[in-house]
Structure 1
Amino acid sequence: MASYVVMEPPGRAGNGEAILVRDGFSWLAFFFSPLWLLWHRLWVEALLAFIVLGLLSALSETAGLGLAGSLLTLLVSLFVGLEGQGLKIAALRRRGWRESGVVEAQGLADGEIRYAATLEAQPEPQAPALVPDAARARPIHTGMALGLSHNPGRV
């Protein structure tokens, strides 16, 4: 089973409008790192991937690294494959989205169904009481206190 991180948009918590982001390795992000980042609107990350991959390929040609240069570019692709979904979640957080939970499911459609079922099972949030319950109020301490204490009537 795969796990999906549920991201809810800002200001609309609990209304069912959410994005499920699969947590795990992404093969498309591994094979097409900069293009995958551009597709998911991760502009800064895509620019950094283009720059790093370009620098590594130029370094491998000028310094004659050969296999080591290819392995370094493979390492960058492996990083994007492993952390691509995390970068996507971080970008959503920067845009004001918040994590509301994790859903385990066989696929995305199953995850959406499970998320919708959890929304239906939750009770409606109640408005906070305007008058606090006096029974749950703290008793007033009139005895000795250690440290700074409030002494009514004194300035």
Structure 2
Amino acid sequence: MAIHVVMEPPASAGKTASEGAVFVRDGFYFFGFIAPLLWMLWHRLWVLAALTFAVTLALGAVGEWTELIAAVPLLSLLISLYVGLEGGALRVAALRRAGWHQWGVIEADTIEDAEIRYLYAADDDADETQPTPVTIAPAASPRPQPSGAALGLLHYPGRH
């Protein structure tokens, strides 16, 4: 079973939360490993894609300048491995920066099962009504008067 993080859009997006929800699978992204720049662009991670491209170019330049050409592919492989492993977290972080909030986590085999479970849970949340608060009128006097005899050091009304 895979774990899916459910991200809901901000209220200003014009859609209801259940219509615009995005499901981000937590796991290894193979396409993110094979082609990290294309994967980032596909998921609209523009700044991260530009930063990854700049780091890749810088690694190539440093490798050429220091004559450690064999290290450049290994470092690029590390970048690809990072994107493959942390792709879901990168997407969730980008959505949070855009104002989205995390609804919760759903465990399901497929994305379709996760959507069904989310819609079912969201429908249950909408059906629950909040109890109306009960207001209790304050007593006329700050301390209630004892109604009869009491034991111990308490005051007995009518006796002094």
TM-score by length of 2: 0.74
The answer to whether 1:5 aligns with 2:5 is yes
Give the drift of 1:37: 0.8
In the other structure, the counterpart of 2:102 is 99
Q: TM-score, normalised by structure 1?
A: 0.76
Moved segments of 4+, more than 4 Å:
12-15
Residue aligning to 1:113: 116
Matched, 1:23 2:31: no
The two structures, once aligned, show a CA RMSD in angstroms of: 2.5
Distance 1:95 1:49, change over 3 A: same
Which residue pairs with 2:149 in the alignment? none
- Asked if the contact 1:57–1:73 (Cα under 8 Å) also holds between the matched residues in 2, the reply is no
1:67 deviation in Å?
2.5
Structure 2 unaligned runs (5+)? 144-160
Letter in structure 2 aligned against 1:97: W
Structure 1 residues 15 and 124, CA, compared in 2 at 3 Å: closer, same or farther? farther
Q: How many residues align?
A: 136
Q: How far apart are residue 125 of structure 1 and its match?
A: 4.7
Q: Which segment is superposed worse, 25-34 or 12-21?
A: 12-21
Shift of 1:15: 4.6
Letter in 2 for 1:57: G
The verdict on how the C-alpha distance between 1:91 and 1:35 changes in structure 2, with shifts beyond 3 A counting, is: same
Is 1:42 the counterpart of 2:71? The answer is no
Aligned equivalent of 1:64: 67
Bigger Cα Rg: 2
Distance in 1 of aligned mates of 2:27 and 2:17: 26
Uncovered stretches (5+) of structure 1, i.e. residues with no partner: 142-155
Q: Is the 8 A contact 1:29 1:81 kept in 2?
A: yes
Identity %: 47
